[in-house]
Structure 1
């Protein structure tokens, strides 16, 4: 068992099988939860389990590399990419909240951010995120990003540059994020540009992890990072434990808040 398939996948498959059989065999989940099945799966995870491969968190130096590369560009897609990257980093956003899936059948129009929700001032910008992974009821959240005094990178300036280009090019379109061909950017659009700068150990989740790590290094309390990133309580604690860079930043930058958070 688990010679040709990951133990975690076996667990998932068993749950799916139970769901299919339950209408005909109501007690099937009792068998699924039996001690012998549970212990067998635990043993497989110990014997055949593989470590989780996690993407590294982006750093401010990484952002600076990208920003400096595009600083003289007036290309709409370049402005879009930089604005998305900085928004994802400083807003602790998932890549899926900024892009659409490459597979159009997975597209959910309710999750597309509207241009009309954007508000910009000299010191910050905000927009309404209509739905995300942890928002089961589509209540939405307002994403607020301020001029970052802790770094030399000002996300507001780059967002404003993109908005000016977007409004001049597509004044009648409703979507916030648009490529030069008038379509909402896909995951592959973003990742192809990210791959130009970084190796495969950097991925879409690297923005979110990097932003959270920066806040931790600045001494922001864990519960505030959790709220900013829209994590559920249990999910955030698991996320911290599985991201050693973020964990160390929290421990050494704000030890008292870190200890109280896990009481």
Structure 2
């Protein structure tokens, strides 16, 4: 059995200290095999916000896997945004993921953020050809017999009827492609409300699971995370909301 905690949208700079303390207590109590954060560690990608996120994530004492969110790309520095948009979040990922061993799960990144887009709202999702190609190659490396294949994104690939929207360009195409490559589920964030959907594609059914937020920027749901248990090829997902 593999236990994963899936959280998203911590938004250091607008974090909820009580929610973070509650989550850390649950990590200490249940000792998940890994913590997955599907983006938006920070509010404005400031150095101080990344430093605060690093301190808190390191103190969890568990392997952490991070998928970049749109808020993690440089906000005030256009040169860094164009030339090194993922530098800080990738350095943080390298420091935190050491030691993760997931015998029953194969995790694959699918980037849905973009340094620039041909629309006014750059916060929304986009799946580029290169990002999709890399995800498909990574899915092929999974052991078909023993591993559940889970793709990590920041934006929902299709709309999940939440208050906020991902509006992910290329999302439906990507969803069908990753299902065809054997993906069983997609974990995402961005919309700040949890959801759990089963979607039919030409290649079969795939599950879409979204996490809420641990920040002050709540919408319809109180601060929450998802508790994911993988056993014998099946995935059980439970939303854990702070009282």
Instruction: Tell me, yes or no, whether TM beats 0.5.
Output: no
Structure ID, larger Rg? 1
TM, length-normalised to structure 2:
0.23
More strand by share: 2
More helix by share: 1
